[in-house]
Amino acid sequence: MQSRPFIASAAVLAGALAALSGTAAQATSAPSRSQAAASTLYVAPNGTDGAAGTQSAPTTLTSAISRIAPGGTIYLRGGTYALAKTVTVPQGQDGTASARTTLSAYPGEKPVLDFSAQSESSADRGIQLNASYWHLYGLTVQHAGDNGIFVGGSHNVIERTVTAYNRDTGLQLGRISSSTPSSQWPSDNLVVSSESHDNADSDGEDADGFAAKLTTGTGNVFRYDVSHHNIDDGWDLYTKTDTGAIGPVTIEYSLSYGNGTLSDGTQNASGDRNGYKLGGDDIPVNHVVRHDIAYRNGHHGFTYNSNPGSMTVSNNVGIDNAERNFSFDKGTSVFRDDTSCRFAVDGSNDKTVGDADGSNQFWAGTNGSRCSSYSGALGWSFSSSGTLVVTFGGKVVTP
């Protein structure tokens, strides 16, 4: 049976996923004006620094960030914001555990932060969130010279964002500076119901969809996220000897497809092209990867990438990835209820060194009955026309 390319719509990627399961307890709906904890400021593309920040006299984003009280709300009105400099939420300008400071799209509107004026440079990010206890909601960040959104703080929620066409990883977690001690690496952040696509650097080696790599702490979670058509990997959890192990990351109920090839067909031979890249430099980190789909990525679907740890790899589905759907050459990872299938793309047999029992169905040259459907909180099937249909929380998503 031939399958068609899986193209997901923005409504599916940014809107539907969090609502389709009751497990998204940390995900919240768009805040209303009455929910502002301390004060409210309004920002618009035509706002000015000195304006009051009311609906009739909107201010700029940088001015609003400098003026908002902890627990307050900044609303971005719809439209395109042409920006040339990184927008930084500075370290120390925190919300609180009981009242995050909110930076949100105005209800029903779409703000697009466009950094096309930047050149490709590690100094030219889009939004740099170095504070803690913030909630970013409903923003599109595109064409930055480096990361679209960079998170250096902790206890933040990044929800229903789109990071696209940036010149490094779309959304990345990492330390604020080289002098930041490991005890202050970003921890306990939630990235939920967000999309990252078509991010590409000039050498093709670094621009992933999502990344928590090199210098991140514990408790970071990606949930109901979609990464597709990035030049390198869908997710990157790379570690290196110079900085040592990162904290364990959880990736759940998420989808990675088409990575290694941009939407316009562009490829770069230097790209790793994996769906979920889970390590590096033979450093053990016990990540949790569950209820995820890797579909037609340009290399492996799920790969340990030299992580010899004991990862929890459960209820995942790998479909038609170019080489292996599951590639784990060493370590003591535990595999349960994982499924590997091939319909239209030939590839190598899976390799799963670790604890894998009979609940799994890995690829060994043949398909079994479970490759025509998969049941559970996150499922998939092929329609009679060959289209991949994905199910979240019992509801069918047909991109």
Has residue 37 got a pLDDT over 70? Answer: no
As to burial, measured by CB atoms within 10 angstroms (0-12 exposed, 13-18 middle, 19+ buried), residue 30 is middle
Query: What sign does the dihedral 203-207-208-214 (CA atoms) show?
Result: positive
**What is the rounded CA–CA span in Å between residue 174 and residue 215?**
5
Residue 214's pLDDT is: 97
> Looking at the 3D structure of the chain, how many domains does it have?
1
> Mean pLDDT, to the nearest integer, of 146-159?
98
Q: Which of 19-23, 159-163, 350-354 shows the lowest per-residue confidence on average (mean pLDDT)?
A: 19-23
* Strand 79-82 with 101-105, pairing: unpaired
**What is the rounded CA–CA span in Å between residue 22 and residue 363?**
32
Tell me how far CA of residue 277 lies from CA of 166, 326, 369, in angstroms. Answer: 20, 11, 28
Residue 301's pLDDT is: 98
Phi, psi of 16 (to 5 degrees): -80, -30
Q: Which amino acid is at 151?
A: V
> Mean pLDDT, to the nearest integer, of 230-246?
97
The string of pLDDT tens digits covering residues 344-376 is 888 999 999 999 999 999 999 987 666 766 555
- 174 lies in a domain? yes
Phi, psi of 335 (to 5 degrees): -110, 125
pLDDT-derived band at 3 (thresholds 50, 70, 90) equals very low
**What is the rounded CA–CA span in Å between residue 35 and residue 99?**
10
The answer to whether residue 277 is catalytic is yes
- 103 lies in a domain? no
Instruction: Return the higher-pLDDT residue of 159 and 17.
Output: 159
Has residue 198 got a pLDDT over 70? Answer: yes
Instruction: Return the higher-pLDDT residue of 26 and 205.
Output: 205
Has residue 107 got a pLDDT over 50? Answer: yes
Residue 23's pLDDT is: 35
> Mean pLDDT, to the nearest integer, of 110-115?
98
The answer for 160, left when phi > 0, alpha when psi is -120 to 50, beta otherwise, is left
Residue 366's pLDDT is: 82
Residue 345's pLDDT is: 87
- 21 lies in a domain? yes
- 38 lies in a domain? no
Residue 253 structural domain: 10-30+169-397
- Dump strand ranges (E) for 214-278: 220-223, 226-228, 235-236, 249-252, 255-257, 276-277
CATH of the domain at 20: 2.160.20.10
- 265 lies in a domain? yes
**∠ CA(75), CA(78), CA(83), 5° rounding?**
85
Q: Which amino acid is at 342?
A: R
Is the CB of residue 256 less than 8 Å from the CB of residue 235? yes
Has residue 9 got a pLDDT over 70? Answer: no
Residue 15's pLDDT is: 41
pLDDT-derived band at 21 (thresholds 50, 70, 90) equals very low
Q: Which of 4-13, 37-46, 100-109, 127-136 shows the lowest per-residue confidence on average (mean pLDDT)?
A: 4-13
Catalytic residue among 213, 240, 277, 351: 277
**What is the rounded CA–CA span in Å between residue 175 and residue 197?**
23
Residue 391's pLDDT is: 65
| Bridge partners, residue 114, by sequence | 82, 142
Full DSSP string of 195-263: EEE----TTSSS--SEEE-SS--S-EEEES-EEES-SS-SEE---BTTTBPPPPEEEES-EEESTTB-T
Residue 397's pLDDT is: 53
pLDDT-derived band at 303 (thresholds 50, 70, 90) equals very high
Instruction: Return the higher-pLDDT residue of 350 and 2.
Output: 350
- 226 lies in a domain? yes
**What is the rounded CA–CA span in Å between residue 309 and residue 163?**
30
Has residue 315 got a pLDDT over 50? Answer: yes
Q: Which of 31-45, 130-144, 157-171 shows the lowest per-residue confidence on average (mean pLDDT)?
A: 31-45
Q: What is the DSSP letter of 244?
A: B
Residue 325's pLDDT is: 97
Residue 25's pLDDT is: 37
Residue 335's pLDDT is: 98
Q: Return the CA Rg of the chain.
A: 20
Q: Which of 116-125, 329-338, 370-379 shows the lowest per-residue confidence on average (mean pLDDT)?
A: 370-379
Has residue 336 got a pLDDT over 60? Answer: yes
For 299, residues 6+ apart whose C-beta sits below 8 A from its C-beta are 260, 272, 273, 274, 321, 322, 323
Has residue 18 got a pLDDT over 90? Answer: no
**CA atoms within 13 A of residue 223's CA, in its CB half-sphere:** 22
- 246 lies in a domain? yes
Has residue 281 got a pLDDT over 50? Answer: yes
For 366, residues 6+ apart whose C-beta sits below 8 A from its C-beta are none
Has residue 22 got a pLDDT over 50? Answer: no
Mean pLDDT, all residues of the chain: 88
> Mean pLDDT, to the nearest integer, of 71-85?
97
Residue from 348, 280, 360, 264 nearest 313 by CA? 360
Residue 148's pLDDT is: 98
- 159 lies in a domain? no
Query: What sign does the dihedral 389-395-398-399 (CA atoms) show?
Result: negative
> Mean pLDDT, to the nearest integer, of 49-57?
95
Residue 343's pLDDT is: 82
Residue 369's pLDDT is: 60
In this structure, the dihedral spanned by the alpha carbons of residues 351, 352, 354 and 359, taken in order and rounded to 10 degrees, is -140
**What is the rounded CA–CA span in Å between residue 225 and residue 221?**
10
